[in-house]
Structure 1
Amino acid sequence: MALTREEREQFLAEPHVAALSVASGEDGRAPLSVPIWYAYQPGGDVRILTGRTSRKAELISAAGRFTLLVDRLEPTIRYVSVEGPAVDTRPATRADLEQMSARYLPAEKVAGYVDFAWEHHGEQVVVTMRPERWVSSDLGQV
């Protein structure tokens, strides 16, 4: 059964690891699909962090849009897919990295991860997507 707007937005706001998909732009090649951390507040835009020169950043720039899919298996199978245009790309700050890391990691691991990532992952960007199309379901509600 499809989720209501409030249910799908609340589900997307939870800290799931998303599958990001973006057109590869190459004949005979499927879209790029990779796991990624993201941030979302109901009613707002979706934000991801990625390497400035990463393949996904380049493909998002070329395609101008991407999709995120989040799901869970317990207590019921539920998923939300959201697609839309990339409306902004800007250099990531250390504060951006700290906020995203705190969403996914235990508090005692955030500082160490941020120090390591800031030093070794290279220049990052924040890509903002404006949700345009949603597909959702909770298969336990049938």
Structure 2
Amino acid sequence: MALTREEREQFLAEPHVAALAVDAQEEGRAPLTVPIWYQYEAGGDLWIMTGRDSRKGAAIAAAGRFSMMVDRVAPTVRYVSVEGPVIDTSPATRELLTEISSRYLPADKVEAYVDFAWKAHGEQVVIHMRPEHWLSTDLGAV
């Protein structure tokens, strides 16, 4: 059964690891699909952080849009898929890295991870996407 707007937005707002898909921009290649952390608040835009010169970052810049899908398998199979245009790309900040890391890591691990990632991951960007097309279902709700 399809989720209501409120259910799908709330589900997307939970800290799932997403599968991001974007046109690979390469002849004869399927879309590039990779796991990624993301940030989203119900009713708003979502954002991801990635390397400015990463394959994913370059593909998103060229395509101007991407898709993400989050799911769970217990207590029921449920997923939300969202696709939309890139509305902003800006340099990452340590504060945004802390925000997104806090969403996924235990509080006592965040500071050490941010210190490591800020030094080791190279130049990062934050890419904002406006959710435009949604697919969702809960297979346990039937």
Q: Same fold (TM over 0.5)?
A: yes
Corresponding residue of 1:79: 79
Give SS of 1:98's match.
helix
- Between the aligned partners of 2:26 and 2:38, the Cα distance in structure 1 is 26
Matched ranges for 1:109-124 at <5 A: 109-124=109-124
Q: Deviation string for 1:95-134 (max 9, x for gaps)?
A: 0000000000000000000000001000110000000000
Q: Does 1:14 align with 2:14?
A: yes
Matched ranges for 1:127-138 at <5 A: 127-138=127-138
Select between 24-33 and 75-84 the one with higher mean Cα deviation: 24-33
- Between the aligned partners of 1:120 and 1:63, the Cα distance in structure 2 is 27
Corresponding residue of 1:4: 4
Give the aligned residue type for 1:22.
V
Q: Deviation string for 1:48-91 (max 9, x for gaps)?
A: 00011111110000000000000000010000000000110000
Please give the TM-score of this superposition, normalised by the length of structure 2: 0.99
1:2 shift after superposition: 0.3
Give the aligned residue type for 1:17.
V
Question: Which consecutive segments of 4 or more residues in structure 1 shift more than 3 A?
Answer: none
Identity rate, percent: 70
Give the aligned residue type for 2:139.
L
Give the aligned residue type for 1:125.
V
- Between the aligned partners of 1:27 and 1:54, the Cα distance in structure 2 is 19
Corresponding residue of 1:57: 57
1:27 shift after superposition: 2.0
Corresponding residue of 2:45: 45
How many positions carry a matched residue from both structures? 142
- Between the aligned partners of 2:72 and 2:89, the Cα distance in structure 1 is 29
- In structure 2, the gaps of 5 or more residues are none
Give the aligned residue type for 1:93.
T
Corresponding residue of 2:105: 105
Give SS of 2:140's match.
helix
